[in-house]
Every structure is written in C-alpha cells, then in structure tokens.
Structure 1
Amino acid sequence: MTPTPDVLVVGAGMAGLTAAHALAARGLRAVVLEAGADVGGLVAAGTVGGYEVDLGAEAFALRRPEVLALAEGLGLAVERPAGRSWVWAEDGDAVGAVPIPAGSLLGIPANPDDADVRLAIGPDGAARAAQDAHLGPEVGADAADLAALVRARMGEAVLARLVRPVAGGIHNADPADLAVDSVAPGLRAALAREGSLAAAVRALLAAAPPGAAVATTTGGLFRLPRALRDAVVAAGGEVRTGSRVTALRRVAAPGPGAGERAGASRGGSGADGAEAAIWEAAVTGPGGPATLRAPRVVLATPGGAALDLLRGLVDVSDVALPAGSAITHVTLAVRATALDAAPRGSGLLVPPGAAAVRAKALTHASAKWAWLAAATAPGEHVLRVSYGRPGERTDDVEPALALRDAATLLGVPLPPASLLDARVVARAGALAASTPAHLAQVARLGERVRALPGLRVTGAWVAGTGLAAVVAHAQAVAGEISQ
C-alpha cells in the first residue's frame, strides 16, 4: 500500500513544483497532483522547425536570488542573454526602432539626459524627465501604481514610450494596473532615500547583480520544471499528471480519539492541527475517481481553481481576480541570412497604439540565447512574436501575420518562402496584473487560510507575476507548512 504523503501539492506549475522540492529538502514526502498532461504551467516547451524551444516563459529576473540558486542547486547551467533590446517608435513620419536605454528599470531611465533616452522620447520628453531631479521626494511618493509614479516624476513621454512598452510587455498589463511595490520592490523606499526617481533607479541597479537583468537555463527554461519534477521523485515523492482535484475537506485523522482531536484543531495552532486532523482531496485521474489524504495541503493552482477549492473552507466572497488579457505567442522558424547580424539584438517591444504592426513584442530567440544560437543551422533563426494587450483580441492571430510583423520590426524582408515552421500558443487570461486592490484582497485571504491548520496557498495570483516572485513565495510557503 502506498504510504500517506506528508503533503498534497495541488498543481505542478513552477509554484507547486518549487514547494514540493522545498518540502522534500525538509524531509517531507509530497504527492503533486496536476490536472494537465505536463508539468511547468506557463513554463512550457514545444518543437518548432526541429528545435525544442520555450513556448511559454523563457527567462527569469535576477533581482532576487531564489531562481538562480534553485537552478544551480539542481545542477542546471545558467546563461545571460546576448544583445541589446530595442523599442519601436512612431513619431509622425519617423517610424523605426531605437535601443532601450541600458541604465533603466522597467523602462524608467537612470539618466534622463542619456543619448538613448533622448532618442527614444525626444528632446522635450527628456527635458520633462530631467525635472525629476528638482522635485521633492514627496512628489509621487504616495503613487500606488507604476504609471502614476512615473507620470508624476518624469512625465508622459517616459511613461508612453519607455515604461508602457517595457513594463507592459514584461507583465502583460498597463502600468496603471501594476502595483509599484509588487513589480519594483524597493523603488518607493529608494525614492524617499535618494530624493529622485532617477537616483532611486541608479541605486537599485547598483545593488543588483552585475550584467543582464535576466537569465535562463541553458537548453531552455523548460528544463527547470523538468529538473524539479525529477528531484521531487528522486526524494521519494510523486508527480501525477492528468489528476484533477475537484474537492477538498478536512476530516478526522485516523486513530483513537480522532473525532475529538479534529474538533479541537479548528481553532488550534498549525502544528497541533496538522496532528489532530487530516485533509482529504477528491481526485479524478486516469484510474478514475480517488480520495487522497494528507495532514498538509499546498494549493498551487491558478487563482480560479484555487478559489473553487477554498470556497466553503474560508470566505472568498470579497476576492475578485483581475481579468488577465488574452495573449498569443507565435514562434517562427525562418531561413533568412539577413538575420545573422541580429539587427534588433535580442528583440524589441512595441508601445500600445503602434500603427505599423499589431504585435506587442518580438524576441529574436536564436540571437538572444547562446544555447539556441549553437543549435540552429546556418541561416536559420527562431523568432517569437507576441500579441495581446488588455482589451485586445488575439483569436485571429496566425503565422502569416506574425511573419509580416516580424519583417517590419526587424527591418528585414521575410517572404512567405522563408517560413520553415510555426507554432501558435494562445493563453486566455493567464497573466493577471498585480493591482494594488488585488494585493490587498490576497493579503486578507492569506490570513483566513492561515487560520486553517495545514493549508497554504501559493502561485502567481498571490505571489505576483514573474518567476522570481513565484519561487520565493512557494519556498516561503513550504517553510511555513513544514513547521
């Protein structure tokens, strides 16, 4: 008979796998239940043009150390991107790409008078941004969202031409919907300390690891969830795909006097409750319906599924999940020797309202990552063209459109005959913005969940977007529930 696990982890995305791995390091056996056919969630892989590449998230931020340490601890090699990033600019008849200023954070320049900043936002925009140095630190200090902060300190041009395409492209949301403290931790504190937004950015950049702000695992970021899965199994745990948890309840633990102990646990401490009662999960899977029990449960599903399971256990009536916009990535394998020179470096971002293209971003993946550059045949390239802003439809996006947009953005002819293969991946509402209101709701929900012994919730919808936030939160949750 299979022994009762120490922990049930619901969801095998990066949050669930990270939590299970951290629990295993503490000597706890986890069974991970994933409704889908594969692990990784938004970190997914696929084959395009004969190359196995990332079809979901492709990199992680280095502003926090957790993901880098996790990857290296699993024995994975890590590499930084090559080439600069660009931003698309349309100013009257002047249409083209300009480099993203090297010294910037989410598009906020560390030096508004830098030549690349002036090129991107024009002399008038640069003059307005330079006023930041003469404003008191109280200006914008109370701004909860990124757009309000940037507009107050540096003006509309910096927001529209740099921050909106850069921060919006990273987080798939308008900066007005991004909580400053979530997407740029420490920025407001640095503003108060340094006296200007530019100086605050310089301080945060100086404290960050040298080199690129992001990295990936050599061979593709998808290798990270696979390595986590293998490590969990090697430690004695299980990862079951095609296994959907449909209900969750707390029942009396087996053994003499279990009923009395379970009743007492409802108001007790986490440790006492974990010994007095047990969690029971109803699961549908390849073998039909089943019931699994464990003293601890970590919910690491997307927000909607987590709230469905929590409903009836805690009050979730005041939690309204932000509506994430639909996004579509089109990965293209092309043969075009004109791309050998990487004319737009690692890729470029497009601000909202661009007339020349519908795309919001392009990644020249085989120029950005050394591992993929080494894998591709001479003259062949892998591009990713991304679509989907808040309120925009993406269900009509197809490879032909992506190829045309790529040619425009890269400034290189890409006729239909240059296309070797394509893969379209659409995700509906996968990345919801971490708005200030949502963060407050999540904090209240977290307090209610912590009152239930042996239950915790993690995932991007509570941790914030980006692997750095997700991994750190999942590891913290594993530490809490293991005590």
Structure 2
Amino acid sequence: MSATGTAAGQHVVVIGAGIAGLAAAHRLLERGARVTVLEASGRLGGKLLPGEIAGVRVDLGAESMLARRPEAVALAREVGLTEHLQPPATATASIWTRGALRPMPKGHVMGVPGTAAALSGVLSDEGLARIERDADLPRTEVGEDVAVGEYVAARLGREVVDRLIEPLLGGVYAGDAYRISMRSAVPQLYQAARTHTSLTEAVRELQAKAAAHQQTGPVFMGIEGGVGRLPLAVADSVRARGGEILTGAPVTELRRVAAPAGTDATGGPPGHASAAARPHASWRVVAGDRVLAADAVVVAVPAPVAAGLLAAESPAAAAELRTVEYASMALVTLAYRRSGTALPEGSGFLVPPVDGRTIKASTFASQKWGWIAEEDPDVIVLRTSVGRYGETEILRRDDADLVDVSRHDLREATGLDATPLETRVTRWTDGLPQYPVGHHARVARIREHVAKLPGLALCGAQYDGVGIPACVASAYAAVDQIHGDLSAVRELTANPVQSLHGGAGE
C-alpha cells in the first residue's frame, strides 16, 4: 500500500451511479483501483436523463453545464465526447415580469447590480431609486453566513431580490432566495460583503476583477444529443477500464470490518503507520444477495439514503444528513410544428415567483441548442419547469394538468397558442438539495464525522454545489480523500462551487 492511502488494485465500492458516483469510479480506475458501482434504480445518470420527443433527442433533466469550471467539460472530453460538445446557439434570455418579457439585464453578479441603471427595464422606478440608497447605508454585517435575499434586500431593496435574484437562484435550486445561503450559493458575493460597506461598490470591484482576467470561451456548454449522454459515456469508459456497474442493486448495509489479528487499524503490521496517515479500514457492503468486501467506499447518493447507510457507523453524520431538505419539481417538454409557430428570440425566460405565475421558467430548446433544430428543422421543442421549495399543491396535479398550466403560461408570455405534437412530463421528486443559511457549517460537520472512518468518503449535489461541475469536483475530492489527501475536500468545504455564472462583466 502507498504511503498516501488506498493502494492500486484494492477494491473500492461506489454507492450511487449519478454523475458524481460515475465520475468517482472513473477517477478511481485511473488511479489503479478495482471498482464496483452499485445503483439502486434500474438506470444510470441520476438527474441527467436523455430522452426523445417527436423524434428529436432532448434532455429530460439537467440540460447544460457551467463551462467556466473545468471539471465537467474535461470529463466529457476524457470519455470521448469532445466532438459533441456544443455551446448554446444563443445566450440571450428574458425575464417575464410586470406583464411583459423583458431582456435579461447584463452587468450583474447573480442578479446584484453594480449600478441601478443595470436593472433598468426590469425594476420599477421606485426599485431603481432604492438601489441608489445603498451607498449611504451603514454596514450590514453578514457574520458566518446570511441568506442571499435577506442581505441584498437590506442593501438594495426587496424588488431586486423578488424580480431578479429569486428567479436566477430558483432556476438552480428551485429554492427561496430568502433562505438560501449566500456563503454556499454565491461565495464571491459573500466574501465581497465581508470587506465592503456598499454592496454595489463590492459588485463593481468584482466586475473590474473579472474584466481584468477576462475568460474566453462559452460560459455554458451542452452536448449534442443532450448532456444526459455524459453519464452514459462515463459508464462506458468505466466498464472499458474493467469497472463493474450493477443496477437494481440497492445497498442495505454498510459496515466496517475489524482488521485481522496481528495487524493495526491500517491493515499492516502493528506500529507501521498511523490509521490517519494510511486509512485501510475494510468494509462490508450488502446489496441484495450480494455481499462485497471493500477496502474503501464512496457514498454518492442523496442525503436521506446516505443517512440510512451511515446510521450504524456514524450516527452523528447520519443525523446531520437527515436535516438536508429537498425541493421537488417537474419539467414539461412540448414539441410543436414549426410552421405557424413563432417564438420570441433568445433561449427562453425566467419567471419571478412574485408575479404569481405557475411556471418558473421556460427554455426555447430548439433556439438554445443548435443540434435540436438540426435534427428536425420542422419541429420546435420547448420546456417549462414547475415547482419550487415548499410548493406541493402544483406537483399533486396529474400530467395533463401540468401540460395545461404550462401551455396557459406560455400563451400569456409569448402568444404561443398552437396544439403540441407531443408532450412529456418528467417529475423530479426531492430532486434538488437546499442550501439554507449554515449549509457550509453542516457540510463541515458531516465531513468531520466521516473523517473518523478511514476508507470512507461522500460526494454529490448536497455538499459543494448542485451543478454538474460541482458534482464532479465533489467526486474527485472524495477519491483524493480515500487516498489520504484531504486538501480538495477542505477547499470545497471552505469554497463551494458556485453553480450559476454570476454575470460579472457581461
């Protein structure tokens, strides 16, 4: 065994085959481990789901990945998808608010403007005037954490939060801006707020720094045929490298196994190295009628499932994981004939909850992704999303009702009144973990408890960011951890991955 942890050839079990679990398996095989992936459901990919409507390939889950973080795009290249990477055909979007589709403002950081003028057209005159008062207000302390909405409303007024920040964050977390942690969701704003009295001044400084280090290339990236292809390609690569992937294999037991007599906790001769320096606990993993012996385990499942798995070996970590809340949502995908169907320009629009609409966003998929339009030029594909944190009534409706309310709101927003060729409703029950105030501290506590169990690591959307790059980064940090390197885990815990581009400099 190497001095840094799990040796090449040792057996690592990965529990969960979403993008985080598959990325972990891929990285482990690169490091020379023998890998078994156990997935409870009958399919791979988690919240990434490729599908089809009216003969056109589409995503029925997440549809894009932040390209300004390298992990997801790099993984796609590693598994043979380089030629299929595509940026959006248009980055122009709108806000449906105050009775009209209005151009998405530019020159903000996650909806927070550097000047009131940046939000002209979206906010009322009163809302714009309230922003101007920021420079004269006394300092607003943020402490160890603060809700994004609470802090920004105190500095710039509620209208900024309700009309812009809420729909932007809602598109990522399906959450409530007045609950979401600024430290975890918008870390660059949190750090700026700690050192500035004026929020608009802090944003202008962030914009100046961004301009001085201007990144080239697209902000977001998709994959021809849908980003749902990514986990399938990673799985193919895992199998090609000798990894085993089992579906329909829910894990019912995860227990540590005592080291054989005559060895210390590291699996070597007594006194040869500390357990902290050379973690080599053995694990017993039970999945159906299979009992696997593992040198290490990566747990890449949602928080409630992870809590159940860790209950026996780390009751403290399990208790923390049980406090993680989730939001449910549904995606309604609609296909229309192009003839006689006119849409506004751009990639779609966001909808502030304050406007009282049912849908929270719509993507004009055929306009956003060139490959959809190319697959069938006579078909237009749109999708809407419904459901936010705390909203349960809307998701109790049947599929036909969700299609009807989506068509109603689309007609109100865009004038689209045609009859769809085909519709599909995809429900993501408890699909998005929430990042409330104190999230970073909870993640730190969970990892502190898990660190006491050599050979165990956690990864996934409930820790360091909900976007695809964040999940991949979380997976790589977990692999480093079971190899004895905690630096990546510490970095992610201290600085979560922002899951939405903040718009600085745009």
Q: What is the TM-score when the length of structure 2 is the normalising length?
A: 0.84
Indicate the RMSD between aligned Cα atoms, in angstroms: 2.6
Equivalent residue for 1:226?
232
Equivalent residue for 2:311?
311
1:191–1:445 Cα change, 3 Å: closer
1:53–1:160 Cα change, 3 Å: same
Equivalent residue for 1:406?
410
Q: Is residue 322–residue 432 contact of structure 1 (8 Å, CA) maintained in 2?
A: yes
Identity of aligned residues (%): 35
Equivalent residue for 1:337?
339
1:186–1:163 Cα change, 3 Å: same
* Alpha-carbon separation, structure 2, partners of 1:391 and 1:14: 26
Q: Which moved more, 1:205-214 or 1:125-134?
A: 205-214
1:57–1:22 Cα change, 3 Å: same
2:101 pairs with one of 97, 102, 106: 97
Q: Is residue 4–residue 293 contact of structure 1 (8 Å, CA) maintained in 2?
A: no
How big is each residue's C-alpha offset from its partner over 1:252-292, in whole Å with a ceiling of 9 and x where there is no partner?
457x7469876989x95245341xx41110012xxxx1101
How big is each residue's C-alpha offset from its partner over 1:339-380, in whole Å with a ceiling of 9 and x where there is no partner?
45x40511111111434x3111111111111111211232x2
Q: Is residue 321–residue 438 contact of structure 1 (8 Å, CA) maintained in 2?
A: no
Q: Is residue 84–residue 345 contact of structure 1 (8 Å, CA) maintained in 2?
A: yes
Q: Given the alignment of the two structures, is residue 127 of structure 1 paired with residue 134 of structure 2, yes or no?
A: no
Deviation at 1:200, TM superposition (A): 4.4
Q: Secondary structure at the match of 1:186?
A: helix
* Alpha-carbon separation, structure 1, partners of 2:439 and 2:312: 21
Q: Which moved more, 1:424-433 or 1:183-192?
A: 183-192
Equivalent residue for 2:85?
78
Q: Secondary structure at the match of 1:436?
A: coil
Residue 56 of structure 1 aligns to which amino acid in structure 2?
G
Q: Is residue 299–residue 459 contact of structure 2 (8 Å, CA) maintained in 1?
A: yes
* Alpha-carbon separation, structure 2, partners of 1:159 and 1:84: 21
Q: Given the alignment of the two structures, is residue 454 of structure 1 paired with residue 461 of structure 2, yes or no?
A: no
Correspondence 1:181-192 to 2 at 5 A: 181-192=183-194
Equivalent residue for 2:38?
33
* Alpha-carbon separation, structure 1, partners of 2:181 and 2:351: 22
1:51–1:228 Cα change, 3 Å: same
Q: Given the alignment of the two structures, is residue 69 of structure 1 paired with residue 74 of structure 2, yes or no?
A: yes
Q: Secondary structure at the match of 1:361?
A: strand
* Alpha-carbon separation, structure 2, partners of 1:36 and 1:208: 43
How big is each residue's C-alpha offset from its partner over 1:226-250, in whole Å with a ceiling of 9 and x where there is no partner?
1111111122111111111110111
* Alpha-carbon separation, structure 1, partners of 2:125 and 2:265: 74
**Aligned residues, how many?**
460
Q: Is residue 266–residue 274 contact of structure 2 (8 Å, CA) maintained in 1?
A: no
Q: Given the alignment of the two structures, is residue 160 of structure 1 paired with residue 162 of structure 2, yes or no?
A: yes
Q: Secondary structure at the match of 1:377?
A: coil
* Alpha-carbon separation, structure 2, partners of 1:449 and 1:208: 39
Q: Secondary structure at the match of 1:429?
A: strand
Correspondence 1:332-481 to 2 at 5 A: 332-339=334-341, 342-355=343-356, 357-378=357-378, 380-392=379-391, 393=393, 394-396=395-397, 397-414=401-418, 418-481=419-482
* Alpha-carbon separation, structure 2, partners of 1:75 and 1:345: 30
1:84–1:449 Cα change, 3 Å: same
Equivalent residue for 1:139?
140
* Alpha-carbon separation, structure 1, partners of 2:172 and 2:415: 23
How big is each residue's C-alpha offset from its partner over 1:106-135, in whole Å with a ceiling of 9 and x where there is no partner?
222244213xx1100022212222333455
Equivalent residue for 1:278?
282
Deviation at 1:338, TM superposition (A): 5.0
Equivalent residue for 1:42?
47
Q: Is residue 330–residue 386 contact of structure 1 (8 Å, CA) maintained in 2?
A: yes
Q: Given the alignment of the two structures, is residue 109 of structure 1 paired with residue 113 of structure 2, yes or no?
A: yes
* Alpha-carbon separation, structure 2, partners of 1:243 and 1:454: 21
Q: Is residue 279–residue 297 contact of structure 1 (8 Å, CA) maintained in 2?
A: yes
Deviation at 1:335, TM superposition (A): 1.6
Residue 97 of structure 2 aligns to which amino acid in structure 1?
A
1:172 pairs with one of 143, 151, 174: 174
* Alpha-carbon separation, structure 1, partners of 2:396 and 2:10: 42
Q: Is residue 327–residue 434 contact of structure 2 (8 Å, CA) maintained in 1?
A: no
Deviation at 1:33, TM superposition (A): 0.7
Q: Which moved more, 1:148-157 or 1:358-367?
A: 148-157
Point out where structure 2 has 5 or more consecutive residues left out of the alignment.
1-7, 485-506
Deviation at 1:303, TM superposition (A): 0.6
Q: Secondary structure at the match of 2:121?
A: helix
How big is each residue's C-alpha offset from its partner over 1:322-349, in whole Å with a ceiling of 9 and x where there is no partner?
3322211111111243545x40511111
Residue 150 of structure 2 aligns to which amino acid in structure 1?
A
Q: What is the TM-score when the length of structure 1 is the normalising length?
A: 0.88
How big is each residue's C-alpha offset from its partner over 1:166-192, in whole Å with a ceiling of 9 and x where there is no partner?
112222101122111222222222345
1:204–1:215 Cα change, 3 Å: farther
